[in-house]
């Protein structure tokens, strides 16, 4: 597709300490593309001062930051709410949608690489993640997670789907029904629906997003839950 504009969705629930790092990383990524970028921050059932911090933040580049407040208490519904706000502003034709998480930081080439892959025919770009720090996790969990991830990346197309590192054309998003209002795996369901419908998926290992290995995960089946399961397995062995 020909990407004319980019919309980025960031759902957040009580992520005030991490918001600035996340948004400034997106700001840097926006500097590497010659398309307008709009960022929608979805504050979902927040009880902290995320709204105030977002209001005070001044980004260096002309990124339009829109704050949406919801009471979804579910990652899928929050992402969907953010996308709907974006599409109401940007329209569908020529719009590329990207999503990440508030506890993550995208690399500087994050948007540029997605645009490049989209221009080559990709309808979906699924990127990888890497952990920023492992201080909340035992060494055995780190070793196991890194080993499993390395095995997956060695194959043809890594096959991982992360809401913190995902892009899709707006037209395909509409075609497959968008993010489902579920507590977790909304990203996996979206990509599975796109694959089933014949969308071209680019499994990129070149735009790894840095994320957290924290133990207080927001989604019941998210990355933190995966690390919890490894922790339980290692403790039982």
Supply the mean pLDDT for the chain: 85
186 phi/psi in degrees, rounded to 5:
-60, -30
What tokens does 227 get? Answer: 């690390």
> pTM (2 decimals)?
0.85
Going from the C-alpha of 25 to that of each of 52, 117, 193, 228, the distances in angstroms are 19, 20, 29, 27
Q: How far apart (Å, rounded) are the C-alpha atoms in residues 124 and 187?
A: 11
User: What are the tens digits of pLDDT across the range 158-180?
Assistant: 888 999 999 999 999 999 999 99
For 58, 97, 151, 158, 222, the CA distances from 100, given in Å and listed in that order, are: 20, 10, 24, 18, 13
Separation CA 205–CA 67 (nearest Å): 30
pLDDT tens digits for 57-71?
A: 888 665 677 888 778
Q: Which helix (H) or strand (E) holds 95?
A: strand 95-99
Q: Is 66 helix (H, G, I), strand (E, B) or coil?
A: strand
Between CA 28 and CA 32, with CA 30 as vertex, the angle to 5 degrees is: 85
The C-alpha angle 143, 191, 203, rounded to 5 degrees, equals 55
DSSP annotation of 125:
E
pLDDT, residue 211, reads 85
Partner residues linked to 8 by β-bridges: 39, 98
Q: Which class does domain 5-236 fall in?
A: alpha beta
Cβ atoms of 209 and 106 within 8 Å: the answer is yes
**Percent of the chain whose predicted confidence (pLDDT) is above 70:** 78
212 or 85, greater pLDDT: 85
Across the chain, which distance is largest between two alpha carbons, in Å?
52
pLDDT digits (tens, 9 = 90+) for 112-168: 999 999 999 999 999 998 887 766 667 776 666 666 666 666 655 788 899 999 999
Whole-number Å distance between alpha carbons of 106 and 102:
10
Domain boundary assignment for the chain: 5-236
Q: If DSSP codes are grouped into helix, strand and coil, which group holds residue 117?
A: helix
- Radius of gyration of the chain, Cα coordinates, nearest whole angstrom: 17
């Amino acid at each position: 597709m020909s990407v004319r504009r980019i919309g980025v969705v960031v759902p957040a629930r009580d992520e005030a300490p991490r918001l600035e790092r996340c948004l400034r990383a997106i700001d840097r990524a926006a500097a590497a593309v010659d398309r307008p970028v709009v960022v929608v921050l979805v504050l979902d059932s927040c009880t902290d001062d995320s709204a105030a911090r977002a209001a005070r933040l001044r980004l260096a580049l002309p990124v339009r930051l829109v704050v949406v407040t919801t009471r979804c208490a579910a990652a899928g519904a929050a992402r969907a709410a953010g996308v709907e706000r974006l599409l109401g502003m940007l329209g569908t034709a020529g719009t590329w949608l990207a999503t990440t998480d508030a506890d993550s930081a995208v690399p500087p080439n994050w948007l540029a690489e997605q645009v490049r892959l989209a221009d080559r025919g990709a309808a979906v770009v699924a990127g990888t993640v890497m952990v920023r720090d492992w201080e909340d996790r035992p060494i055995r969990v780190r070793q196991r997670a890194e080993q499993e991830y390395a095995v997956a990346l060695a194959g043809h197309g890594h096959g991982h789907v992360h809401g913190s590192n995902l892009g899709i054309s707006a037209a395909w998003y509409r075609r497959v029904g968008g993010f489902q209002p579920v507590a977790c795996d909304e990203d996996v369901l979206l990509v599975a629906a796109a694959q089933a419908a014949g969308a071209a998926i680019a499994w990129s290992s070149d735009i790894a997003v840095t994320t957290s290995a924290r133990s207080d995960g927001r989604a019941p089946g998210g990355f933190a839950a995966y690390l919890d399961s490894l922790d339980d397995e290692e403790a039982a062995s």
